[in-house]
Amino acid sequence: MGTDIRVHQAYAGRVLHGAGARSLVPDEIERLGAQRVLVVAAPSSAEVAEDLATALGERYAATFGRPAQHTPVEVTAEALTLAREVRADAIVAIGGGSSIGLSKALAIRTGMPQVAVPTTYAGSEATPVLGETENGVKTTRRDPALAPGTVVYDPELTLSMPHGLTLTSALNALAHAVEALWDTEASAATRAYGMESADGILTALPAVLDRLSDVVPRGRLQEAAWLAGACLAQARMGLHHQLAHVLGGTFGLPHAELHAMLLPHVMRFNLVAAPDTAARLARVADGDPVLAVSALAALHEGPTTLGALGLPRTALREVAERVAASPYPNPRPVTADAVEELLLAAW
Ligand code: NAD
């Protein structure tokens, strides 16, 4: 195939969005023709899961309430046993990337259709990707069958996110959009998603942080996060996601906080080599995009440096060498020295 030919592959065919949209989940289940729903819900969504169970009536089969980060295979096995016991024929996953990851792991093993009801901005519901851990080793697979066929975005379910998770999860989403924008092979549609997403996050996030329980800016932010998830699905991720994968995987650092603190540093490094993206982001940031994102990241009340997250200084060189040895596609060439300098600034 010629290098000028771009492929646009979309996922998650059916997306509902709006305050109260979760009340339509039973209709979506009926539409799928499912009779026995397994609900997968994080503890933070236990009440919503109970309400949904009631609303599903005879179509409700059981709830699995203990999804875990990075989808450990033992947890999947436990949930699979429950799914078989209750003869489940569809999954509704409520929660962040951990709940949706478990849903994907069950779907790929059973063929059950999934309805995802995200409560963070991580974006997993929009992707055909699953990371699983077994004996501490994380492997990632990509398969169109992993992508939930239906996604229900209800901004009311995001109101409970505290300041810290709201901020770091939104910057996690922004990272998907920014990396799609500087991916030289992204399609026109993906670039449009990236711009709309970056604009939505940069304008809605300050309003959300001011008024955490106002559903209107929350809705705008969630819509922007949806598009960011689509960017993650459709574009090639670069240095930012590689650093997040290596640091998160090797040192078990928390997903969203890690993304939030790395993003301004990777933007400072990459945007000099991606002048088009820099100019476009400057328009939506209404100024220097690196300063805008740094200022947002600095609002975090938790750790804002890799050192504060617990990464030892001595690890930086080794991480830099690993990243430079097999870099993800990136607009600026990646050397061990440059990555070490970037990491030191973030440390
Ligand atoms: P998460 O799902 O682990 O949630 C983080 C914490 O926030 C949990 O304790 C959860 O209970 C709580 N929480 C979730 N929603 C809440 C809400 N509305 N109010 C209050 N608390 C809430 O974290 P995440 O950042 O959403 O997802 C991270 C995980 O998802 C990682 O394992 C990551 O690898 C994976 N992920 C995968 C993809 C993919 O495409 N495969 C994409 C993004 C993230």
In a domain, 131, yes or no: yes
Question: What tokens does 40 get?
Answer: 């997968």
Q: Give the three-state DSSP class for 138.
A: strand
Pocket of ligand 1, candidates 69, 104, 212: which has the most ligand atoms within 8 Å of its Cβ, to mutate? 69
In a domain, 9, yes or no: no
CA nearest 230: which of 126, 151, 86? 126
Shared-domain flag, residues 340 and 225: yes
**Domain of 26?**
14-158
List phi, psi (to 5°) of 68. -135, 155
Shared-domain flag, residues 281 and 230: yes
Burial tier of 162 (Cβ tally within 10 Å: 0-12, 13-18, 19+): exposed
Nearest-atom number in ligand 1 for the CA of 160 is 19
Q: Is-contact 26 59, C-beta < 8 A? A: yes
How many domains does the structure of the chain reveal? 2
Shared-domain flag, residues 271 and 333: yes
Give, for 203, the enclosing helix (H) or strand (E).
helix 188-210
**Residue of the CA atom closest to atom 2 of ligand 1:** 96
Q: Is-contact 149 12, C-beta < 8 A? A: yes
Q: What's the CATH code of the domain at 30?
A: 3.40.50.1970
pLDDT one digit per residue (tens) for the chain, 347 residues:
446 777 777 776 899 999 999 999 999 999 999 999 999 999 999 999 999 999 999 999 999 999 998 899 999 999 999 999 999 999 999 999 999 999 999 999 999 999 999 999 999 999 999 999 998 778 889 999 999 999 999 999 999 999 999 999 999 999 999 999 999 999 999 999 999 999 999 999 999 999 999 999 999 999 999 999 999 999 999 999 999 999 988 888 998 999 999 999 999 999 999 999 999 999 999 999 999 999 999 999 999 999 999 999 999 999 999 999 999 999 999 999 999 999 999 99
Shared-domain flag, residues 168 and 301: yes
Shared-domain flag, residues 207 and 88: no
Pocket of ligand 1, candidates 64, 99, 120: which has the most ligand atoms within 8 Å of its Cβ, to mutate? 120
Shared-domain flag, residues 138 and 169: no
Dist. CA 275–CA 257, nearest whole Å: 27
Shared-domain flag, residues 290 and 333: yes
Shared-domain flag, residues 71 and 176: no
Q: What's the CATH code of the domain at 204?
A: 1.20.1090.10
**pTM, entire model:** 0.96
Q: CB within 8 A of 3, min separation 6: which ones?
A: none
Last residue of a domain, one of 110, 127, 158: 158
Q: Is-contact 73 131, C-beta < 8 A? A: no
Å from CA of 287 to ligand 1 middle: 31
